[in-house]
Amino acid sequence: MGVAVDQVGICSECGTVDTSDPCTICSDPRRDASTIVVVEDVSDLWALERASAVSAHYHVLGGTLSPLDGIGPDDLNISKLMERVESGGVNEVILAVNATVEGQTTAHFITDQLARFENVKVTRLAHGVPVGGELDYLDEGTLAQALRARTKF
């Protein structure tokens, strides 16, 4: 079984790519488990990690809602996110999605889905993120600043 340990797989908790499941981020006790940063894909997670912007948990959607491309909520890792919030202990969900039409559509959808959890604050990145901007193209300072100055959705 030694070989399997080194194989890259998908974390069943957050959806990121790692050699262990749960991944090293999900299983890190020093991270703040009450905050979940929602990102579109793994490269955005890595961009945030490089910026050392936050020491929280993540949730990787695996894309954005895009009706024109036939991508609906069931095609993304959204129901697992709801499960994680529902299981308790989450105080804040940060929607760190790209400032694209699809990203914002996705953010609105998730915000609606989370509305029933009254004790969970939903925030998004401040407008340091340029319109149409993709997170993984931002420099680390801008990204960290956008996260720190996040606003309530």
Taking the least distance from each CB to Zn ion, the nearer of 13 and 40 is 13
The amino acid at residue 46 is: W
Coil vs helix vs strand at 87? coil
Binding piece for Zn ion, criterion CB under 5 A, among 5-13, 86-94, 110-118, 136-144:
5-13
The correct pick among 6, 7, 9, 14 for binding Zn ion (CB under 5 A) is: 14
Coil vs helix vs strand at 111? helix
The amino acid at residue 41 is: D
Taking the least distance from each CB to Zn ion, the nearer of 23 and 110 is 23
Q: Are 31 and 57 in contact (CB under 8 A)?
A: yes
60 lines the binding site for Zn ion (CB under 5 A): no
**Distance separating alpha carbons of residues 120 and 89, to the nearest angstrom:** 9
| Min CB(12)–Zn ion separation in Å | 8
Torsion on CA atoms 141, 17, 109, 83, rounded to nearest 10: -120
The correct pick among 5, 7, 10, 13 for binding Zn ion (CB under 5 A) is: 13
The correct pick among 1, 2, 6, 11 for binding Zn ion (CB under 5 A) is: 11
| Min CB(141)–Zn ion separation in Å | 26
Binding piece for Zn ion, criterion CB under 5 A, among 3-11, 80-88, 96-104, 119-127:
3-11
The amino acid at residue 43 is: S
DSSP structural state of residue 22:
S
**Distance separating alpha carbons of residues 66 and 125, to the nearest angstrom:** 21
Q: How many residues bind Zn ion (CB under 5 A)?
A: 6
Q: Are 25 and 57 in contact (CB under 8 A)?
A: yes
Per CB under 5 A, contacts with Zn ion among 15-54 are: 22-23, 26
- Contacting residues toward Zn ion, per CB under 5 A: 11, 13-14, 22-23, 26
